[in-house]
Amino acid sequence: MEQYINNKGQAFIELLLTITIIAIVFGSSLFAVQLVYKSIEISKQKLEAKYLLQQQIESLYAVQNQSWSDLTLAGTYYLQYNPTNTPPHILQGWVLVPGKETYNEYTIDIQIAPAYRSNSNTFTTNTTSPVDPNSMEVTANVTFTSYGQNFSYSETEYLTNWQAF
């Protein structure tokens, strides 16, 4: 009878150990799944941010072709689509609006600055070089915060008033 009692205690300890191991494995799996989900969400947001950045750059080319004078004022802007030519002084198409735009969790802005040319006729960031009157430096920025992390994407292009040539 004494041996039966010891076996019962041993079976209980084995059961308790098995339940503990299963809980550890399940908890680790749950943590891994949560990490994968978080990673997928951040990847989606990064992809959308890169898409928005590319959209800004391509829209700037439309502004360049439509109305070069809109690009000649340095400052911070965002793009807004005007489907009609109302009010009358604004053309149909993309319009630069002063300030920054918030789209869902993204902050979008475009920095427009004078473009400088070096003596070898290449673009430079040296502000002591001559300003090119037919070119502008534009930088599109998209920022967002996800799971407490800040992300920022930017792209700089040099736009030229090709109609002046």
Closest CA to 158 of 122, 128, 126, 127: 122
Mean local confidence (pLDDT), 82-95: 65
SS3 assignment, position 25: helix
Q: Please say if the pLDDT value at position 90 is more than 90.
A: no
| pLDDT tens-digit readout, 48-81 | 999 999 999 998 988 888 888 888 889 999 998 8
| pLDDT tens-digit readout, 111-150 | 999 999 998 889 998 989 999 999 999 999 999 999 999 9
pTM of the complete model: 0.75
pLDDT band for position 101 (cuts 50, 70, 90): very high
CA neighbours closer than 13 Å in the CB half-sphere of residue 36: 6
Q: Please count the structural domains in the chain.
A: 1
Q: Which domain holds residue 93?
A: 2-164
Q: Please say if the pLDDT value at position 158 is more than 60.
A: yes
Q: Is the peptide bond before 133 cis (omega within 30 degrees of 0)?
A: no
Mean local confidence (pLDDT), 79-97: 71
User: The dihedral of CA 59, 61, 66, 69: what is its sign?
Assistant: positive
Q: Are 94 and 62 in contact (CB under 8 A)?
A: yes
